[in-house]
């Protein structure tokens, strides 16, 4: 009987232990109150290390040890903060092999006075103060006050730069103490590079209808001589800036960069290609998976001193051509190629993502893009492309002006604001500059456009020029 009672007691004890062992916390750590963080002390984790007292130099902050800083970021913005977490865990010997030794999480964690590194615009007061110091998309700031350090920038790219800068200022003192070696405000102010004149320069545009449709350069027949000078919008912008520039139009209808390279560029005399100071490149309508390879091949045909700019057109933007975007944000930067994202600008405006500052008019897709579902009957007397049915993706003269103005400002470092655009409708320069001929040929009865009204509105044109400057400044390729 005694054995039976003891057996029952043993079973009951085992059931209690099993229940305790199976109790787990299933909360998702991503953007929750704690993110892989138990915030354990060295005693909790069983470290038996005799850590010397920190002798922190003036102007530095101790961010490890008993006053261990936790890392806080706005909800959904964990990615930018991770490098700091990884660096602290790597640098602090006491964190070695200990999950959650450093706490990291979204700013939904209550601010209870714990030392914190704030990455991005968190809901903490110091983040707001740091953000108020920024005057440009390319500024960033690291601001330390009390037991908080705020790291802020207006764009993701420059926030990553700020994080890299912060990490570069971390060091390990006496093997165990991680310190930040710039306690005071550290503000990197963006300084615009000096303006460049194109006077006397040779310029080439390589591409297709996504360059010439809106008159950035003017349309040429397939069998026309590409060795003559162009007088489209880009050339006119140079002229109103007092610069005499030779502009060559190396574009073909519906042709990819691969085709242009194989069938045209490689057959040119080296003496022709060696003269160019600036080359603008734009792919056709596809999301070319080999875009980096073909652009690299093209650049190798020109002198090492030639500067290249890639033109992102509106079809890239509206169709989300990720291969193009990835190249512009990664490999092209390594190759020294700048980017004019005119397509992103007009797509963001017509889709409502971006507002034109001070605009008096309403914007939609047809403000920037043609739309004819039928076939024009006068292909000889109007701008190129009349006769092509169901075209609702090529730019009109307003988008063509934005293309040319952004291309010019990218390479000259000049502002678009206040630039003269009165030539855009001047048919004495070229018959293709006629706005209403363009509308008759490229918009059918079911579609309308207000781009001539935009050209007539000083407020709207100034707003678009402001956006041109902003879109140039925020692209990482244009540092």
Q: What is the pLDDT of residues 453-471, one digit of tens each?
A: 999 999 999 999 999 999 9
Tell me what pLDDT residue 23 has. Answer: 36
pLDDT tens-place string over residues 225-278: 999 999 999 999 999 999 999 999 999 998 999 999 999 999 999 999 999 999
pLDDT at 473: 87
Reply yes or no on whether the pLDDT at 71 is more than 90: yes
Q: Quick one: pLDDT at residue 9?
A: 39
pLDDT of residue 98: 87
Candidate from 4-18, 61-75, 215-229 with smallest mean pLDDT: 4-18
| Region 377-386 average pLDDT | 49
Which pLDDT score is estimated for 324? 98
* 334 pLDDT higher than 80: yes
Average pLDDT over residues 28-52: 49
Mean pLDDT of 331-346: 97
Instruction: Answer yes or no: is pLDDT of 1 > 60.
Output: no
What does pTM read for this prediction?
0.72
Give the chain's end-to-end CA distance (angstroms, integer).
86
Task: Look at 42 and 455; give whichever has higher pLDDT.
Answer: 455
Q: Could you tell me the domains of the chain?
A: 29-47+54-188 (3.30.379.10), 202-478 (3.40.50.1110)
Kindly tell me if the per-residue pLDDT of 39 is higher than 50.
no
Return the minimum-mean-pLDDT range out of 18-27, 64-73, 250-259, 448-457.
Answer: 18-27
In this structure, what token pair is assigned to residue 214? 């809106």
Which carries the bigger pLDDT value, residue 140 or residue 76? 140
Asked whether residue 103 carries a pLDDT value surpassing 60, the answer given is yes
Q: Per-residue pLDDT tens for 160-181?
A: 999 999 999 999 988 889 999 9
Mean pLDDT of the chain: 88
Name which residue leads in pLDDT, 392 or 458.
458
Least confident of 54-58, 265-269, 418-422: 54-58
Predicted confidence at residue 45, as pLDDT, reads 46
- Look at residue 46 and tell me whether its pLDDT is greater than 60: no
Q: Alpha-carbon distance 234 to 403, whole Å? A: 8
Tokens coding 13: 């004890």
**pLDDT of the residue at 48:** 56
Say if residue 280's pLDDT is above 90. Answer: yes
Cβ–Cβ < 8 Å for 11, 80 = no
């Amino acid at each position: 009987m005694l054995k039976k009672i003891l057996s029952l007691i043993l079973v009951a004890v085992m059931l209690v232990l099993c229940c305790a062992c199976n109790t787990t916390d299933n909360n998702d750590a991503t953007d929750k109150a704690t993110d892989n963080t138990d915030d354990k002390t060295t005693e909790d984790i069983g470290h038996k290390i005799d850590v010397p007292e920190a002798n922190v130099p003036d102007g530095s902050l101790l961010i490890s040890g008993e006053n261990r800083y936790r890392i806080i970021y706005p909800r959904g913005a964990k990615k930018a903060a991770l490098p700091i977490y990884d660096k602290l865990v790597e640098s602090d010997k006491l964190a070695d092999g200990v999950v959650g030794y450093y706490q990291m999480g979204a700013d939904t964690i209550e601010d209870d006075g714990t030392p914190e590194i704030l990455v991005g615009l968190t809901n903490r007061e110091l983040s707001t103060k740091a953000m108020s110091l920024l005057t440009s998309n390319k500024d960033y700031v690291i601001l330390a006050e009390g037991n908080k350090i705020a790291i802020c920038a207006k764009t993701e790219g420059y926030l990553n730069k700020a994080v890299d800068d912060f990490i570069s200022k971390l060091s390990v003192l006496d093997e165990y103490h991680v310190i930040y070696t710039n306690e005071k405000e550290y503000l990197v102010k963006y300084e615009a590079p000096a303006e460049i004149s194109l006077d006397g320069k040779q310029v080439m545009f390589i591409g297709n209808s996504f360059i010439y449709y809106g008159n950035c350069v003017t349309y040429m027949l397939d069998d026309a001589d590409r060795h003559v000078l162009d007088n489209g919008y880009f050339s006119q912008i140079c002229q109103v800036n007092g610069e005499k520039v030779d502009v060559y139009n190396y574009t073909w209808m519906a042709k990819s960069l691969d085709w242009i390279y194989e069938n045209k560029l490689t057959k040119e005399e080296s003496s022709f290609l060696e003269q160019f100071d600036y080359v603008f490149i734009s792919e056709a309508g596809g999301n070319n998976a080999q875009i980096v390879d073909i652009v690299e091949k093209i650049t190798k045909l020109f002198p090492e001193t030639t500067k290249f700019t890639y033109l992102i057109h509106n079809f890239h933007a509206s169709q989300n051509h990720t291969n193009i975007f990835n190249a512009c944000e990664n490999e092209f930067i390594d190759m020294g190629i700048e980017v004019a994202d005119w397509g992103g600008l007009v797509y963001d405006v017509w889709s409502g993502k971006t507002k034109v500052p001070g605009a008096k008019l309403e914007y939609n897709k047809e403000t920037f893009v043609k739309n004819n579902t039928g076939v024009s009957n006068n292909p000889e007397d109007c701008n190129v492309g009349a006769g092509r049915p169901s075209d609702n993706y090529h730019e009109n003269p307003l988008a063509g002006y934005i293309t040319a103005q952004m291309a010019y400002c990218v390479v000259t470092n000049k502002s678009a604001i206040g630039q003269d655009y009165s030539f855009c409708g001047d048919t004495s320069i070229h018959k293709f500059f006629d706005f209403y001929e363009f509308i008759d040929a490229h918009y059918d009865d079911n579609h309308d456009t207000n781009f001539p009204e935009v050209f007539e509105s000083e407020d709207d044109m100034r707003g678009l020029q402001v956006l041109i400057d902003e879109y140039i400044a925020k692209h990482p390729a244009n540092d």
